[in-house]
Structure formats: structure tokens, C-alpha cells
A and B are shown apart, each in its own frame.
Chain A
Amino acid sequence: GQQVMQIPQYQHVQEGEDFTTYCNSSTTLSNIQWYKQRPGGHPVFLIQLVKSGEVKKQKRLTFQFGEAKKNSSLHITATQTTDVGTYFCAGKTSYDKVIFGPGTSLSVIP
């Protein structure tokens, strides 16, 4: 079946270091969304990418959508303790289904 995978599953970084999580789909996606879930909280929408090769930035966060629309990445520059949480990608397939990846859990060591 259609799958969306994310790597790594966990990442521990020193505050100030950069962080990247990768999202890979087994099929071409029509668009991809990213969500952040703080510990004990609920997922919160961050951004949506639609176009092949699209790059969007939100302050220290950079989101990319691959040329083949089968992968995406989220890069955080100079992590802060407020970046702690789990980052999920959610891809929309050609069958109008939205599939969430398993998430990457980020810990930031002060």
C-alpha cells in the first residue's frame, strides 16, 4: 500500500545546531503538509507545499518539496529549545487520501 516514511525517527541536537528531517513517499504526491506536535500537545499545521521543487521558509525553518513530488524535507537552522517536538509530514495522494508519516521526534539539549 501507499506509505509515507520519515527519517530519522529521533534526533537529539545541541541547542544552536541544525536539524533536518526527511519525508519519503512510495508514490507521487499532489501536495505535502508539515505539522508540529509539542510534547503533550496536538499536531499543529506548519505549511503546505504544492509545486515540484518548491521551497518555502518560515524564519529558521526551510521546507522543500522534491522535483519528483515523492519526497520532502524540513530543515531548522540553529535550533532552540522551543523547537522541541515531533514533526510530521502528511502527503496527499492521487487517490485524494492524506497519509501521515510516523514523525521525527526532536530533542534540543540546552
Chain B
Amino acid sequence: NAGVTQTPKFRVLKTGQSMTLLCAQDMNHEYMYWYRQDPGMGLRLIHYSVGEGTTAKGEVPDGYNVSRLKKQNFLLGLESAAPSQTSVYFCASRENLGTSSNQPQHFGDGTRLSIL
């Protein structure tokens, strides 16, 4: 099993450009997450999905959109990139065993994105 795979691993964009980050998991997990990680601020949740066809906003959703058309894929889009979106982006997934459970999150290797 590959686990959680993120593409691309690195990208440099100019302000105003758009791009899509892809996250794929082969563990049949229901829940998927997109985080950004900035120095000293830990992991901040951008958007998440509790199942195919559903998405919800996290802590810092502005400037991002997501889609979960297939259970195994969770896409993060930047419509008009801004320098403030320079960050490391992590995707994660986990099983859903009910609302009382909290299964471990499995993270991808991250995408390092620079906006000039």
C-alpha cells in the first residue's frame, strides 16, 4: 500500500496563478483533510471531507476550494495564488468508526508551495 500520496511535491507559482494539489489514498478511508503548516503555527485545517461528495470548511478556508468526487481523491485548489499562501500543505486521511472514535490520521509527504 502506498498510503497517502500527494502531488506535486514542490511547486513555485507567481501571484495570481492557479493550481490544484492532488491527494490520493488507497486505504479506503472515509475522512480526508487538507492542512497548511507554517513555522510556529502547527497544522491548521483548511478543508475536510467526511465522505465522497461532501466537503466542509476548516479553520483557514479562505482562498482555497476543494472537491471529493471520488472517495480516494481529495483535491485542493488555489484559484488566484497569493504570497500569503506560501506554505507546506499536508493531506491526511483516517477511518471512520463512528462519532465516538478518533482513528489516527495518516499523512502524506507534503507539498512545498512558494508563491512569488
Those of A22-81 within 8 Å (CB) of chain B = 30-31, 33, 35, 41-45, 48
| CB pair B43 A88 closer than 8 Å | yes
| CB pair B107 A42 closer than 8 Å | yes
- Interface size of B in residues (CB-CB distance below 8 Å): 19
- Interface size of A in residues (CB-CB distance below 8 Å): 21
B13-21, B68-76, B98-106: which lies at the A interface?
A: B98-106
CB of B90 within 8 A of chain A?
A: yes
A83–B99 Cα distance when bound, in Å, is 33
| CB pair B42 A33 closer than 8 Å | no
CB of B109 within 8 A of chain A?
A: yes
Contacts A31-B102, A48-B102 hold; do A43 and B41 have CB atoms under 8 A apart? no
| CB pair B42 A9 closer than 8 Å | no
What does DSSP make chain A's interface, helix, strand, loop or mixed? Answer: strand
Taking a contact as CB atoms closer than 8 A, the residue among B40, B90, B102, B110 that contacts A92 in the complex is: B102
Taking a contact as CB atoms closer than 8 A, the residue among A45, A88, A98 that contacts B42 in the complex is: A88
| CB pair A96 B40 closer than 8 Å | no
Taking a contact as CB atoms closer than 8 A, the residue among B35, B42, B90, B99 that contacts A102 in the complex is: B42
| CB pair B40 A42 closer than 8 Å | no
| CB pair B108 A100 closer than 8 Å | no
Q: How near does chain A come to B75, taking the closest CB pair, in angstroms?
A: 19
Contacts A42-B107, A42-B108, A42-B109 hold; do A101 and B102 have CB atoms under 8 A apart? no
The residues of A with any CB-CB pair to B shorter than 8 Å are 6, 9, 30-31, 33, 35, 41-45, 48, 88, 90, 92, 96, 98, 100-103
The residues of B with any CB-CB pair to A shorter than 8 Å are 35, 40-45, 90, 92, 99-100, 102, 104-110
